[in-house]
Amino acid sequence: MRTEGRPPAAVCEGVVRIYWSRSGDVHALKGVDVVVPAGRLTAVTGPSGSGKSSLLRILAAQDRPTAGRAEVAGEALGTLSVRRLRALRRRHIGYVFPRPAQNLSPHLDGREHLALAARFRGVPRDRARHEAEELLDRLGIADRADHLPGELSGGEQQRLAFAQAVIGGPALVVADEPTGELDSATTADLLAAVRELTRTGTTVVLATHDPLAAGAADQVVHLRSGAVAHEEVAGRRLAVIDGDGRVQLPEEALRRFAARRVQIELTDDGVVLREPS
Ligand code: ADP
Ligand code: MG
């Protein structure tokens, strides 16, 4: 499957998500701009509480932005009815939870999981069977496919969860800390398998704390306090300027400006921030 020329799998523009709770409002996302390119692996990183899960729930069409625009698989979430949102999730989004046990049913073996997921997505039966075998093979669990989840290792269970999320070719597979409970060797294996999926055109977004996972990604979106602090593409770290001209300084730069005020100087080859004299 080609990735060039395909429209992005998802686009967020100025996405704000506020949670109203009894102890006060939480501004979990404060104007996030993200483009999720099709057929690529995007990692969302950031400290705990930085808004990773909030962003992923929106990308997975499980939640709508409080303000701003989110488009997933070509549909603007803000204008969809609850019924159409559900249909969008069912047809076009695969989701992987952090804990293996959340993804799988204890009474179904690997093949049964995939058959059920394919039926749910409306994939014709013979195509589903063929696709399931191909996926099991590509994820390296073909010889484990007759086993129940309880008989699989954590890594094998997460591979099956990815196979289940991918079958039927959703526009987007969203995985929230899928390697959170795996050791580093198993994490590396799972990531290699996920990379292999993107090679055949699947789009994956995963949230992670793990530098290993971020290293495997084509693009890294780093969140800090509900905003995009920087992006990394092809090994280059780029700060992001939002639609209103805001930039988040890296922590090491921020420390230089204790009073949080700067003089901005435009030069021929850039912009310099200085402590006010
Ligand atoms: P992360 O996944 O990076 O740890 P989250 O998106 O889960 O971040 O959380 C971002 C912020 O939003 C945190 O301060 C968290 O406590 C808060 N939050 C998340 N979900 C809810 C909710 N349902 N109600 C209230 N606050 C929430
Ligand atoms: Mg989270």
Contact by Cβ (8 Å): 101, 149: yes
Q: Nearest residue CA, atom 12 of ligand 1? A: 28
The three-point CA angle 157-162-166 to 5° equals: 150
The three-point CA angle 106-112-116 to 5° equals: 100
* DSSP SS3 for 74: coil
Q: Nearest residue CA, atom 24 of ligand 1? A: 19
Ligand 2 centroid from CA 206, angstroms: 11
Q: What is the DSSP letter of 79?
A: G
Ligand in nearest proximity to the CA of 22: 1
Of ligand 1's listed atoms, the one at least distance from the Cα of 50 is: 3
Write down the pLDDT at residue 244: 82
Of ligand 1's listed atoms, the one at least distance from the Cα of 54 is: 6
Of ligand 1's listed atoms, the one at least distance from the Cα of 207 is: 2
Ligand 2 centroid from CA 28, angstroms: 11
Of ligand 1's listed atoms, the one at least distance from the Cα of 57 is: 6
Q: Nearest residue CA, atom 22 of ligand 1? A: 19
Distance CA 111, CA 148 (A): 10
For 139, what's the count of Cα atoms within 13 Å in the CB-facing half-sphere? 29
Least Cα distance to 204 among 172, 168, 229 occurs for 172
Taking 70 as the pLDDT cut, the residues of the chain under it are 1-4
Q: DSSP for 97-147?
A: -SSHHHHS-TTS-HHHHHHHHHHHTT--HHHHHHHHHHHHHHTT-GGGTTS
All residues at 6 or more sequence positions from 29 whose CB lies less than 8 Å from its CB, including other chains: 15, 16, 17, 51, 54, 55, 58, 65, 226, 227
Write down the pLDDT at residue 126: 93
H or E element that contains 253: helix 251-254
Which residues have any ligand 1 atom within 6 Å of their CB?
A: 19, 21, 26, 28, 46, 48-54
Write down the pLDDT at residue 5: 79
Ligand 1 binding pocket mutation candidate from 15, 20, 29, 53 (most atoms within 8 A of CB): 53
Specify the pTM: 0.92
All residues at 6 or more sequence positions from 207 whose CB lies less than 8 Å from its CB, including other chains: 43, 44, 45, 52, 53, 55, 56, 175, 176, 177
Write down the pLDDT at residue 212: 83
Ligand in nearest proximity to the CA of 44: 1
Ligand in nearest proximity to the CA of 98: 2
Q: What is the CATH number of domain 10-245?
A: 3.40.50.300
Are β-strands 227-233 and 219-224 bridged in parallel, bridged antiparallel, or unpaired? antiparallel
Write down the pLDDT at residue 3: 57
Write down the pLDDT at residue 1: 47
All residues at 6 or more sequence positions from 200 whose CB lies less than 8 Å from its CB, including other chains: 1, 138
Write down the pLDDT at residue 4: 66
Least Cα distance to 12 among 61, 59, 63 occurs for 59
- Tens digits of per-residue pLDDT, 39-91? 999 999 999 999 999 999 999 999 999 999 999 999 999 989 999 999 999 99
Write down the pLDDT at residue 242: 81
Ligand 2 centroid from CA 225, angstroms: 13
Of ligand 1's listed atoms, the one at least distance from the Cα of 29 is: 10
* Residue pointed to by tokens 């290993």: 212
Structure tokens given for 101? 């046990």
Write down the pLDDT at residue 214: 84
- In the chain, what are the domain boundaries? 10-245, 249-277
Ligand 2 centroid from CA 179, angstroms: 12
